[in-house]
Amino acid sequence: MIRILLAALAAVLLLGLIAPLVEVAFLGGPIQAALEQTLGRKVHIGAVHLTLFAGPGFSLTDVSIDEDPRFGVEPFAYVETLVARVRPDKLLFGRLQIASLRFVRPSLNLVKQADGTWNVVALLGRVSAPRRAPLNMVPALVLSEARLDFKFGLRKTTFYVAETDLDLYPQRSGNITVRFAGSPARTDRTGRGFGHFRGEVTWPLAPSADPYLQADLALEPSDLSELTTLLEGYDIGIHGTVSTNAHMSGPSSNLTVTGELRMEDVHRWDLLPVKGEDWRIRYRGSVDLISHRFDVETIPAQENRPSPVALRLRVNDFLGRANWGFLATVEGVPAARLLPLVQRLGLSPPNGISLDGSLQGVIGYSSRGGFSGQIGFTDLTATLPGVPPLHAAGATATVEQSRIRLEPTQLDLAGSATLEASADFDPSSRGLDVLLNAASTPIQPLAAALGSWFASAPGLVDFLSGEATGMMRYTQSPAAPPAWSAQLDLAGAALQPSGFSAPLTDVAAHLELDAGGLNLTRISATLADIRLTGDYRYALKGPHHEHVRAELESGDLEQIETLLEPSLRSETLLARFRLGRRTLPAWMAARNLEGDVFTSKLSAGGIPLGSLKTHILWEGGNVQLTSVALDFDQGRARGKGSINLTGNVPRYRLTGNADGLSWKGGSLDLSGSLDTSGTGGDALGNLRASGTFKGSGWRLAAGADFSEVAGKFRLSLSGGWPDLRLTALKATQGEELWDGAAASEADGKLVFDFANGRRLLHVVSTVAPQPDSSSAAGPVASSH
């Protein structure tokens, strides 16, 4: 008996293994007829093979199932392999009756007509018709790795469901239970699917105007960007993980939905996720399967307490051209909770920022119109470490066409200043545009706030005090560095210019700031006790960055030298002993200045000189005086020169000429050069000058009148007194021509020695002009 049983078992196993290899083409006709009777559609099959292990049946390949003519001409399904299990009891009587169908890797078209009927509903009714045998143990229809396409009339939608597994169980009550899993996808996007759904649906097949359904649906943890791509057609840039469990029940036109949504690590696409954050949101709503509408809203965590944040999601035509949107309503939410959301949108708030206050309002998003809405802030205070806080009693932000705008808001800078601010932000390009209006706003707290919250505003940070009135604009985008522009009127300001020992005070000016640089026009200020006016420009492009025009009401050379002492002299220990070279301060090494300086009242040690106009080119430690014009009461001087500031003491060199000077009762013209170094008395003691001169109408002494005098000169003050040497003299006295030389003495006398052939002329005069040369103590002349 054991051998017989083993032999029978082996025979069954062998038969089961061989059966799929046996092609029974002669059974194709009966099988095709049985399928057509079961499905109510024409069926086209390829090869036919037997199957035994899954119950008696057949395995069909290359199967095509035609559509019911009411729903179109395109075939209902293409199936790689169709496994049809037949009823053994009917088979014993020579009849083929289908018990169950298994579609392997099929492609199905689910069609809905204008009257709301689906092609699949009638088909399911035929497949799951009640039988006497228990019907809920074995599925009547199985889909494995199927693709489900959707059509409305003749139009096929972009949505389909990929990798679908479906089991259909008939119930004795006339309902059917469908268990499924699949990944929704779009034909206009690559990828096998966007998220993975699974669930179970109980569907009544009894005739009803609006059948009552029950379903449990679960979305397994999926990328949030995949779901937005499914609805929108593209990735909107918000990533994270989302999952949900939902229960639906009711008529198909108004299914009640309840469930819980879980979101994790929500962030912008270009930012790293924040681990550990988990949002659990309860929701409820309705689904209309007839018109393809979906509407859900959040439920408060506690039934009797309103939620500070309420969300609502609507989707229209979710199987066609989906149009979706959500609405967020906030009420009394702490402003501090806004910071994590701002970071997820890609903004970079300053480090250490804290917010205090509350917000309320409504924000919505539409797949066709983008973001829109309005948020209000109440008693808002923003604080940074070490910076006075910003406070606004109220502020309003509007969102329109995916742009965020801060409406004009009055800001209080720690009680010391007020400022009106408005702003525009584009989340897609991350472009920021801020507009500020100041009205007699103190400059120091204004500059500190701007530098901390945005970026330092060029020009303002250099002022020590004062008030500003006008407009400022700040722009920022990833494609360009932050930029400021401004139109400000400054009053009562103080400024410490680099290289000066005293600040500019009582400054009034008009400040303009743009992409090209900084302009200060209509400057009026006081430097020490010198009143000045002028203009200043700092240009980013061009051979010289700084341009200065200054007009001094008056100026003394000694006072000007004292004011310029930080520029002229190094303060290091080695400099005091005049050892080594000077290390230029950073501001001087970077200096590249062109300027014009003018004063109508120049003096030296209190002695009036006249008016001065000079053009300056200052690059690093070298100052070029490209033109110097000095106009005296009688005469003028023109020239050019340089100042070398790279050493421990400054070195001066001037070349030029002077015309029409009054000396010795006549006129004097000079041409030559001057060199000196140091400051104060050192500069005077180190003075060296040389060149040529020409004079006319000189009275050197009584009886020593010359109509013309010319020659060379050399002057030194190294001994503490003027050491003047005149050489190669040519003097004309009447009809006589004299040759000679002259030299000064320590007592101030200037001694001339002339020769005319054998005749000699000795003249004693003075270096300084002598107002009364006829006095007894005056110059004398002797000849022989």
SS (H, E, C) 208-240: CCCCEEEEEEEEEEEEHHHHHHHHHCCCCCEEE
pLDDT > 70 in the chain, percent:
81
pLDDT at 554 over 80: yes
Q: Report, as an integer, the average pLDDT of 499-523.
A: 93
pLDDT value at residue 772: 45
CB count in 10 Å sphere of residue 496: 14
User: Is residue 742 in some structural domain?
Assistant: yes
| Interstrand relation of 555-556 and 592-604 (parallel, antiparallel or unpaired) | parallel
The number of distinct structural domains making up the chain is: 1
DSSP label at 692? E
Do the Cβ atoms of 730 and 739 come closer than 8 Å?
A: yes
**pLDDT tens for each residue of 241-297:** 788 899 999 887 888 999 888 877 665 545 555 555 567 788 899 988 778 888 988
Which range among 217-221, 222-226, 314-318 has the greatest average pLDDT? Answer: 217-221
pLDDT value at residue 632: 87
Which range among 116-125, 333-342, 695-704 has the greatest average pLDDT? Answer: 695-704
Radius of gyration in angstroms for the set of CA atoms belonging to the chain, rounded to a whole number: 50
pLDDT value at residue 271: 53
Q: Report, as an integer, the average pLDDT of 713-728.
A: 88
- Higher pLDDT: 307 or 589? It is 589
Phi and psi torsions of 365, nearest 5°: -135, 135
Q: Report, as an integer, the average pLDDT of 422-434.
A: 86
C-alpha to C-alpha distance for 177 and 199, rounded to whole angstroms: 11
**pLDDT tens for each residue of 133-154:** 444 455 678 888 889 888 887 7
Q: Report, as an integer, the average pLDDT of 164-172.
A: 82
Q: HEC profile for 314-341?
A: EEECCCCCCEEEEEEEEEEEEHHHHHHH
pLDDT value at residue 268: 56
**pLDDT tens for each residue of 10-55:** 665 655 555 455 555 666 778 888 888 888 889 898 888 877 655 6
User: Is residue 757 in some structural domain?
Assistant: yes
Q: Report, as an integer, the average pLDDT of 73-93.
A: 79
Q: Report, as an integer, the average pLDDT of 759-781.
A: 66
User: Is residue 555 in some structural domain?
Assistant: no
pLDDT value at residue 12: 58
User: Is residue 764 in some structural domain?
Assistant: yes
Q: Which amino acid is at 316?
A: N
Q: Report, as an integer, the average pLDDT of 646-657.
A: 91
pLDDT at 315 over 50: yes
| Interstrand relation of 141-152 and 98-112 (parallel, antiparallel or unpaired) | parallel
Q: Report, as an integer, the average pLDDT of 513-534.
A: 92
pLDDT value at residue 755: 92
pLDDT value at residue 642: 95
- Higher pLDDT: 611 or 234? It is 611
pLDDT value at residue 648: 81
User: Is residue 705 in some structural domain?
Assistant: yes
Residue 473 neighbours by CB under 8 Å, 6+ apart: 433, 434, 435, 436, 484, 485, 486
Q: Report, as an integer, the average pLDDT of 545-570.
A: 89
CB count in 10 Å sphere of residue 783: 12
Q: Tell me the residue range of the domain where 717 lies.
A: 672-783
C-alpha to C-alpha distance for 407 and 255, rounded to whole angstroms: 42
pLDDT at 431 over 60: yes
User: Is residue 768 in some structural domain?
Assistant: yes
93-107, 180-194, 408-422, 761-775, range with the lowest pLDDT? 761-775
pLDDT at 659 over 90: yes
pLDDT at 667 over 80: yes
pLDDT value at residue 746: 85
Distance (Å) of CA 608 to CA 270, 600, 612, 630, 662: 71, 10, 11, 12, 15
Q: What is the dihedral of CA 171, 176, 179, 180, to 10 degrees?
A: 160
Q: Report, as an integer, the average pLDDT of 732-740.
A: 91
- Higher pLDDT: 207 or 623? It is 623
- Higher pLDDT: 780 or 379? It is 379
pLDDT at 217 over 80: yes
Q: Report, as an integer, the average pLDDT of 195-201.
A: 86
**pLDDT tens for each residue of 319-368:** 667 787 888 888 888 888 777 766 665 566 677 788 899 989 998 888 77
C-alpha to C-alpha distance for 495 and 567, rounded to whole angstroms: 17
What pTM value is reported for the model? 0.67
Q: Give the H or E element holding residue 30.
A: helix 28-39
Taking all residues of the chain, what is their mean pLDDT, rounded to a whole number?
82
Beta strands in 418-561 (DSSP E): 418-426, 431-442, 463-477, 480-495, 504-514, 517-527, 530-539, 546-552, 555-556
Do the Cβ atoms of 24 and 56 come closer than 8 Å?
A: no
pLDDT at 676 over 90: yes
pLDDT at 536 over 80: yes
Q: Report, as an integer, the average pLDDT of 181-207.
A: 77
100-104, 123-127, 164-168, 286-290, range with the lowest pLDDT? 123-127
Q: Report, as an integer, the average pLDDT of 98-119.
A: 83
Phi and psi torsions of 340, nearest 5°: -60, -35
- Higher pLDDT: 597 or 203? It is 597
DSSP string, 92-128: TTT---EEEEEEEEEEEEEEE-TTS-BHHHHHHHHHT
User: Is residue 728 in some structural domain?
Assistant: yes
